[in-house]
Amino acid sequence: MQIKVCGMSRPGNIDDVASLDIDMMGFIFYRKSPRCVGELSPATISRLRREGVEPVALFVDEDIDTAAAIMKRYGFSTVQLHGSESPRYCSLLRARGFRVLKAVGIADSGDIAAAAAYDGHADMLVLDTRTPGKGGSGRKFDWSLLEKVTFATPFLLSGGIGPDDAADVKTLYDRMNGRMVGIDVNSRFETAPGEKSRELLDTFIHNI
């Protein structure tokens, strides 16, 4: 099971979390987010990759040239899009050599069906809880909706996953037969916005 920890923003905490058995680490480049990345250097991105953790740059409806320039400046090769970006936008970024994760808000079976529009345009989907605003909510959607998945793109489960959800996550992962490839966690493991509890994450990872 792949594990992505998103919303990292503090240098010391980045190193602490990177030492855990995780696969991806997300950095938010959206100024309105309380987890918008602060101090970050290309050296940090290179070090994470050497340690086996893939850095992910997260944008919300950013101009495509601006997003590409930021990724090149820091050395990102993977991007997560968390706004209303179209399948074409995803394909254009892929054509520039970036791996694309597209977040899709889920509240009902119609949202599951609509996610199929990104087949062939995104490398992976991130199924999150649909909200009126931008970004995550820290709340779960109805995971039984995943039984209606027909799209071909592999996905990460996101939205309100917390320390007490290890058993349910593992059960769901096993039941999805390879369609769900992992999870994306964020606010439920925080001590403050952008600051993750290494202890909570470590226990959770061992339990799944």
Query: How many whole angstroms separate alpha carbon 195 and alpha carbon 5?
Result: 11
Q: Are residues 132 and 80 in contact, defined by beta-carbon separation less than 8 angstroms?
A: no
Q: Residue 48: how many CB atoms within 10 A of its CB?
A: 23
Residue 57: is its pLDDT beyond 90? yes
Q: Is the pLDDT of residue 62 over 70?
A: yes
pLDDT tens profile 2-31:
999 999 999 999 999 999 999 999 999 999
- Given a cut of 80, whether residue 77 has pLDDT beyond it is yes
DSSP-based three-state secondary structure for 154: coil
Predicted confidence (pLDDT) per residue in 108-156, tens digit: 999 999 999 999 999 999 999 998 876 666 799 999 999 999 999 999 9
Q: What number of other Cβ atoms are within 10 A of residue 66's Cβ?
A: 11
170 half-sphere exposure, CB direction, 13 A CA radius: 10
* Predicted pLDDT of residue 39: 80
- CATH of region 2-207: 3.20.20.70
pLDDT at residue 75 tops 90:
yes
| Alpha-carbon dihedral 171, 79, 25, 189, rounded to 10 degrees | -60
Please measure the distance between the N-terminal and C-terminal CA atoms of the chain and give it in whole angstroms.
8
pTM above 0.75, yes or no: yes
**What are the residue boundaries of the structural domains of the chain, listed by start?**
2-207
Q: What is the mean pLDDT of residues 169-174?
A: 97
Mean pLDDT (the chain) is 96
Residue 93 reports pLDDT greater than 80: yes
Residues 6+ apart with CB under 8 A from 36: 9, 28, 29, 30
Sign of torsion over alpha carbons 143, 7, 197, 17: positive
Query: What's the rounded Cα separation, in Å, for the pair 44 and 47?
Result: 5
